[in-house]
Amino acid sequence: MARAGYRVTAPDLRGHGDSPPGDDYLLASYASDVLALGREWDAVVGHSLGGAIAVIAQTKDRTFARRLVLEDPVLSLSDPTSFIAEFTKPFEDPTAATILARNPRWHPQDARLKEEALEATSPEVVRRTALENQPWDLVPATMGLDSPTLLIAADPTQGAFVDPDLGDRIAASSHLVTFRALAGAGHSMHRDSYKDFWEAVRSYLSE
């Protein structure tokens, strides 16, 4: 993004990175934190939880972003127990070597950065985020977004959070939402399918 001419701000969410723990981990609270950083962003890119937060921030304040890119966002979460099990498993052995072994398509630097990210948060943040936001259903809010939005999903064979049926249904409900699934890409497509992911984002933002 920076090489494409954007001035980039990458926030640490509450309970992540250098940010302090939160009193709660409600999606609305995450969104309020992000809105406090500013509005009228030319583009906001949100991955996974970040995509969910971007939807809520845009719903709360239509001046938040001129365009959104939602990378396999968690729009619904009907089984928090399975989610917690999957996303707390990396904490069992959070070394770069193990991360890279589990994700052989990642660049080694991505594995090192993921190790640092895991060290800067905790399984408790994952657990509380999943449990404190039930019921978790942002599909109606996504259908009602008032900014042009690229909804880009992982390959359904790779455990995508947004399956093709849901993506097509959201896009059909709003002329502002463009949906595409990235063939062969996993949930962290910016790591394991970087060139394809960036080309999709670059093409969309240059329209």
DSSP-assigned beta bridge partners for residue 136 = 77
What value does the mean pLDDT take over residues 35-49? 97
Q: Is the pLDDT of residue 39 over 90?
A: yes
- Report the percentage of the chain scoring pLDDT > 90: 99
> How much is the pLDDT for 159?
87
Helix, coil or strand: residue 69: strand
Quote the CA–CA distance of 119 and 72 in Å, as a whole number. 23
The pLDDT tens digits of the residues spanning 83-136 come to 999 999 999 999 999 999 999 999 999 999 999 999 999 999 999 999 999 999
Residue 63 identity (one-letter amino acid)? T
Q: Is the pLDDT of residue 65 over 90?
A: yes
**CB neighbourhood size of 47 (10 A):** 21
Give this prediction's pTM: 0.96
Average predicted confidence (pLDDT) for the chain: 97
- The CATH number fitting domain 27-205, selected from 3.40.50.300, 3.30.1360.70, 3.40.309.10, 3.40.50.1820: 3.40.50.1820
> How much is the pLDDT for 182?
96
Q: What is the bridge-based pairing of β-strands 149-153 and 177-181?
A: parallel
The pLDDT tens digits of the residues spanning 130-163 come to 999 999 999 999 999 999 999 999 999 998 999 9
The pLDDT tens digits of the residues spanning 177-207 come to 999 999 999 999 999 999 999 999 999 999 8
Helix, coil or strand: residue 153: strand
The pLDDT tens digits of the residues spanning 21-38 come to 999 999 999 999 999 999
Q: Kindly provide the b/e burial profile for residues 157-185, where b requires at least 16 CB atoms within 10 angstroms of the residue's own CB.
A: ebebbbeeebbeebbeebeebbbebbeeb
